[in-house]
Amino acid sequence: MNGQSDGLNDILDADIYYDYNTRWNNNYNALYKDIKAYAIGSYHTLSSLTGVVNNDYSGFISSYVAPELVVAGLGLLNDIKISSLVSFVPEKVILSRVTEILGYFYPESKIVDVAEIILQELNYDKYPMFVSWYNDILVPLDSKLGNDSGSASHANSGSYIGFNKITRPFLMNDESVDYEKVSQVMPPVGHNLEARDEIIIGKILDVLDLGVNNDSAYVTAENEDGTLTFVRYRGTYSDSVFIVPESIDGVTVTAINSWAFDGENNVTEVQLPKTIKKIGSYAFAGLENLTTITFAENGQPQLEEIGPEAFLGCVNLSRFNSIVMGELSLPSSVEKVWGHSFYNTAFSEINIGSNVSYM
């Protein structure tokens, strides 16, 4: 199409970009509807970008600017945006429109580009309730997911028809992020982390038919002590109540992985085995229909640690280890409860065990 061009030029040239887009949409029913297409996109919260800067072993960022200045600037911008939460909606509507108009008249202006990023790509997530940049410092999230308003000069262009979407937010205190696992010697931002990120890889493997016979309905990881971490359920959460097994293939389950229930919004109740000692970061985050967490009745719970943001944004979660509506009752074995673990939940009463040393 339009001569040879590398991938970057294809993205930057609007005519080439929309030629691809229009060809897909025009021929979707005839040629592509049987293809399971998945678009993968990632973005960062502003606070997580401090982790990017502090873990940039490539030296790329420090070769341009002092890392401590970037961290300070990110913190300041995050605070400013949080403080303007009340005016956020009118700000987005009015100022985003202004930047669109300025972009039309001054398409090469770097100042307008920065304004568009600040006013159009900085957003408030429902969970976590922090400021997120819907970008990975190179490509906007909507572009990576195939979302597009289209072009007047290219008929039928716009969002790609039939795309399934995998979205990965990189967040502060996300235990599943390994900043050293970058796809090339560059800063550990989204597009450099995606190819080796365990959460994204897990989601890809879930939708691939590798022709391998696997009788287990569960994805697990072996711990150093020989026990298992529950990573995710391989099947469909068809029931609203999900029971995490105490053992899988005869091996005891002692931990719930980060993001283990990501996106499973039909789940209303989860029963954990007494053997669980740790719940990972963001394990249940954002499950708006989740109301109850219980433990199996055989023996005392052994839970010791609840990771950062583990239940953040579970707005209807109102029972934890209790039969009383509105009560969060930590087992006496719990020692650590990390930041924002129960932020934006529905508890009205909290009972903290005597062994809690960090909260």
State the virtual CA torsion across 333, 272, 252, 226 in degrees, nearest 10.
-60
Band (pLDDT 50/70/90 cuts) for residue 13 is confident
Nearest CA-CA partner of 281 in 19, 48, 5: 48
Q: In 7-137, which residue ranges form alpha helices assigned H by DSSP?
A: 7-12, 14-26, 46-54, 67-83, 88-105, 110-116
**Percentage of the residues of the chain whose pLDDT score is greater than 90:** 36
SS (H, E, C) 137-149: CCCEHHHHCCCCC
User: 3-class SS at 243?
Assistant: strand
Encode pLDDT of 288-346 as tens digits.
999 999 999 877 899 999 999 999 999 999 999 999 999 999 999 999 999 889 988 99
pLDDT at 110: 63
- For tokens 């502090």, name the residue: 54
User: 3-class SS at 258?
Assistant: coil
Distance of CA 119 to the CA centre of its chain: 21
Residue 224 burial (CB count, 10 A): 5
The mean pLDDT of 189-216, rounded to a whole number, is 77
- For tokens 């190179």, name the residue: 138
Q: Which pTM does this prediction carry?
A: 0.75
- Tokens encoding 342: 């129960």
Encode pLDDT of 69-120 as tens digits.
888 888 887 777 666 655 555 555 665 666 667 666 666 666 666 666 666 6
Encode pLDDT of 263-276 as tens digits.
898 999 999 999 99
Nearest CA-CA partner of 278 in 224, 319, 316: 224
Which pairs count as long-range contacts for 67-74, CB under 8 Å and 24+ apart, including other chains? 74/46, 74/47, 74/49, 74/50
User: What does DSSP assign to residue 142?
Assistant: H
User: 3-class SS at 195?
Assistant: helix
Question: Average pLDDT, whole number, for the chain?
Answer: 83
pLDDT at 1: 41
